[in-house]
Amino acid sequence: MGTTSEYGRRDVIKRAAAIGLIAVPTMSTLAACASGDGGGDNKVEKGEKSAENPLGVNASAPLDVVIFDGGFGEKYAKDAQALYKKKFPDATIKHAATQKIQSVLQPRFNGGTPPDLIDNSGAEQMDMGVLVGKKQLTDLTPLLDAPSIDDPDKKVRDTLRPGVVEMGQFDGDPVWILYYAYTVYGVWYSQTALDKLDAEYPETWDDMLAVCEKAKKQGIAGWTYAGKHPYYLPFSLYPFIAKIGGKEVLDSIDNLEPNAWKHPAVKAAFEAYYELFRKGYILKGTPGMDHIQSQTAWNQGKALFIPNGSWVENEAKKTTPDDFEMRVSAPSGLDSSDKLPFGTLWASGGEPFIVPAKAKNPDGGMEQLRIMLSEQSSKNFTQQVSSLTSFDGGTDGLTLPPGLTSAVAALDKAGDNIVNPRIQDWYVALQKEKIGGGGIGEMMAGRLTPAEAIKKIQGYADAAAKDDSIKHYKHQ
């Protein structure tokens, strides 16, 4: 397909970022990483700055990198590290990949010996709000203000997709996080499966229920999801809420405002999703499945729809049939009274990279990111893992796979109706364990009614709002 359609959205995303719509999906827990205030005294000696080395990297200093080994794997990172090694042949690179980011790295943070660069992602992602609040991260402004690899006349920040810089901010100007992937969230499906049912993707909830009923008569479930990781459900549920009641509903949820979860749009969305359970449209056993098991069942044609992010095309590659024709769509709407049009979508930066404040070689960590934000590395990532990067380009001449092609089309359709709930990165433990696990997941498993789930979740949010040990953030 052509490769310019997503770039026509630049002004759209700028507007979205400017009014606080672009935020960042992040997940998981790190209770209190370390009590220090950053800035270790064991840093390597700085190198000499030059046109080729604008960050002043010590050419012989070791570089320590830890990558989340999830949907995108680790090869793209190793390839970028090979470019670093080519530039600094005397540097030793220590590379590690794990799915247990918190378990592996919390002791290193506590001991004041964190790596130089971390891909802080996955089910065991460290809590960004905690890391920022405890001053455990390096401000990435020097990286953003450095000349880009491809065009020294352009700063790195000027090569990024609009909104990406803002995504890494919490309070004001410092940029603590660089989100490397650009992720489209929504309802994923097989066009082939819908064609076999003689059905189209449903744009209203009545149509969604009708398609699920049609599938049920063929012995196919309407939905499945990562039951063991119910924070996947909001990938479609949150933009559904925004479509019904407007973006301000999600803002009030992010701000931990009293009664935010009792908004009529939340009630309507919860009741709609509960119908999927009540009418038997969810694949049997789903609450006990992890993300891989649910994706595999979906690939096998056992369920039509699954809420997910655009990493799924690569993560599920081994089990996806050749004729699957993977697609993603914005969530179905409720009805004609919705505040926002069909196409309202959650899309934002993913794969958050951080440089710890106590890293021994923070300049090396930032230089590795600078290399990753080149056209060469960006194209390599997209070719390998079927995902866009935050580098605004890097797809020219590439043939995009079906899922990514549909993701670009979904972005085009969304226009300026892009929402990104910041609760995902401001209050990771609250979002994952309480709202996802204790509320939405329990409701979708049939163990709570929508009213009970809302009451429970509002209680969790109120407790977090009153907890002085938590750093609180608000939309400006």
Mean pLDDT of 191-207: 98
pLDDT of 28 higher than 90: no
Q: What is the pLDDT of residue 18?
A: 36
Q: What is the pLDDT of residue 116?
A: 98
Cα separation, 381 vs 178, whole angstroms: 16
Most confident stretch, 122-126, 310-314, 331-335: 331-335
Q: What is the pLDDT of residue 373?
A: 98
Cα separation, 395 vs 3, whole angstroms: 6
Q: What is the pLDDT of residue 386?
A: 87
Q: What is the pLDDT of residue 41?
A: 64
Higher pLDDT, 137 or 128: 137
The encoded tokens of residue 442 equal 């329990």
Higher pLDDT, 344 or 2: 344
Mean pLDDT of 198-225: 98
List of residues 6+ apart from 472 with CB closer than 8 A? 256, 465
Mean pLDDT of 277-287: 98
Confidence category of residue 302, pLDDT binned at 50, 70, 90: very high
Give per-residue pLDDT as tens, 229-277: 999 999 999 999 999 999 999 999 999 999 999 999 999 999 999 999 9
Confidence category of residue 8, pLDDT binned at 50, 70, 90: very low
Q: Are 326 and 313 in contact (CB under 8 A)?
A: yes
Higher pLDDT, 17 or 130: 130
Q: What is the pLDDT of residue 243?
A: 98
* The CATH number of domain 5-183+347-419, selected from 3.60.21.10, 2.40.160.40, 3.40.50.1980, 3.40.190.10: 3.40.190.10
Q: What is the pLDDT of residue 349?
A: 87
Q: What is the pLDDT of residue 348?
A: 87
Q: Are 235 and 305 in contact (CB under 8 A)?
A: no
User: 397: exposed, middle or buried (C-beta count within 10 Å: 0-12, 13-18, 19+)?
Assistant: exposed
Mean pLDDT of 445-455: 98
The rounded percent of the chain whose pLDDT value lies above 90 is 79
Q: What are phi and psi of 90, to 5 degrees?
A: -85, -5
Helix (H) or strand (E) holding 184: strand 178-190
pLDDT of 166 higher than 90: no
Confidence category of residue 35, pLDDT binned at 50, 70, 90: very low
User: Nearest Cα to 183, choosing from 427, 20, 411, 476?
Assistant: 411
* Least confident among 105-109, 116-120, 468-472: 468-472
pLDDT of 118 higher than 70: yes
Give the angle 181-182-183 at the CA atoms, nearest 5°: 110
Domain ranges of the chain: 5-183+347-419, 186-346+423-466
Over its C-alpha atoms, the chain yields an Rg (Å, rounded) of: 22
Give per-residue pLDDT as tens, 58-98: 999 999 999 999 989 999 999 999 999 999 999 999 999 99
User: What is the three-class DSSP state of 413?
Assistant: helix
Q: What is the pLDDT of residue 420?
A: 85
Cα separation, 385 vs 387, whole angstroms: 6
The encoded tokens of residue 467 equal 């907890």
List of residues 6+ apart from 444 with CB closer than 8 A? 225, 227, 230, 233, 273, 274, 276, 277, 282, 287
Q: What are phi and psi of 336, to 5 degrees?
A: -70, -10
Higher pLDDT, 28 or 163: 163
Tell me, which fold does domain 186-346+423-466 have in CATH? D-Maltodextrin-Binding Protein; domain 2 (3.40.190)
Q: What is the pLDDT of residue 392?
A: 87
Residues in the chain, total: 476
The encoded tokens of residue 347 equal 């899309």
Residue listed under structure tokens 């994923």: 188
Mean pLDDT of 151-167: 91
Higher pLDDT, 476 or 328: 328
Q: What is the pLDDT of residue 10?
A: 36
pLDDT of 38 higher than 90: no
List of residues 6+ apart from 389 with CB closer than 8 A? 180, 181, 182, 372, 373, 378, 381, 382
Q: What is the pLDDT of residue 201?
A: 98
Cα separation, 285 vs 226, whole angstroms: 11
Mean pLDDT of 353-378: 98
In single-letter form, the type of residue at position 349 comes to G
The encoded tokens of residue 22 equal 């672009």
pLDDT of 22 higher than 50: no
Q: Quote the mean pLDDT of the chain.
A: 90
Determine if the pTM surpasses 0.75: yes
Give per-residue pLDDT as tens, 398-416: 899 999 999 989 988 998 8
The encoded tokens of residue 187 equal 């309802």
